[in-house]
Each structure stands twice: as C-alpha cells, then as structure tokens.
Amino acid sequence: AQSVAQPEDQVNVAEGNPLTVKCTYSVSGNPYLFWYVQYPNRGLQFLLKYITGDNLVKGSYGFEAEFNKSQTSFHLKKPSALVSDSALYFCAVRDRIGGANNLFFGTGTRLTVIP
C-alpha cells in the first residue's frame, strides 16, 4: 500500500531562518512525490514534484525538496523563510496501482513563520 507520513502537525520557524517540513513515504514501486501548499480558504497549489533524475528538486516560491531513497524521505526545504510562507503543506505520493493518477496525501503540516 502506498502512503505518506508527515510526522509534524505544526512547524514554527523565525523569519529568515531555514525551514524544513518532513515527509516520509511508502510505495511498492518507483515513487512519484509531490508537495502542495494550501493557504487559508484556498485550494491546494502545486509546489514541486519528483519523478526521476536529480534528487534535489527545485519548485515554486524558492522551495526545494530532496529525495532520499535510502531513508524513503522527501523533505521540503527553504533557505530563508518568509512570513508569507505560513500555510498548510501537504506531501503526496503516487504509483501506478489502479492505473489512474491516484495521489495519496499526508495529513498536512501547518507552517507558521514568526516575524
């Protein structure tokens, strides 16, 4: 079965400091991994995805994520946090089981950037 785990419900970081939002995955085949962000009263917005190739993936708004196969992790990072980064972040994984583009999401991590 495929799944992702986001071990932290809440992450607080001071503005200007580096941030990390953690995600680990479990999938039977090659993982396709995604990060989405949800701002208040808004739908999910795509940040980045890992399909194949370089383990470090760069995405929108200065975010990046590192795929680590040995640790089955795909942590989201940003070198310098902004207050506007405060939002709910979702990690998702997909494989081809069932055929259709089934994304399995984590429970989300709420990031608060403190001014």
Q: Which of 66, 59, 72, 65 is nearest to 30 (CA)?
A: 72
Could you say whether residue 36 binds another protein (CB under 8 A)? yes
52 versus 70: smaller Cβ distance to another protein: 52
Considering only 51, 56, 83, 114, the residue that binds another protein (CB under 8 A) is 51
Round to whole Å and give the CA distance between 114 and 102.
Answer: 35
Task: State the residue for tokens 């709910």.
Answer: 88
**Chain Cα centroid distance, residue 73:** 10
Round to whole Å and give the CA distance between 23 and 19.
Answer: 13
Q: Which stretch binds another protein (CB under 8 A): 14-22, 66-74, 78-86, 93-101?
A: 93-101
Round to whole Å and give the CA distance between 108 and 11.
Answer: 11
Could you say whether residue 1 binds another protein (CB under 8 A)? no
Considering only 13, 23, 44, 57, the residue that binds another protein (CB under 8 A) is 44
31 versus 85: smaller Cβ distance to another protein: 31
The residues that touch another protein, with contacts defined as CB under 8 A, are 4, 32, 34, 36, 41-46, 49, 51, 90, 92, 94, 98-108
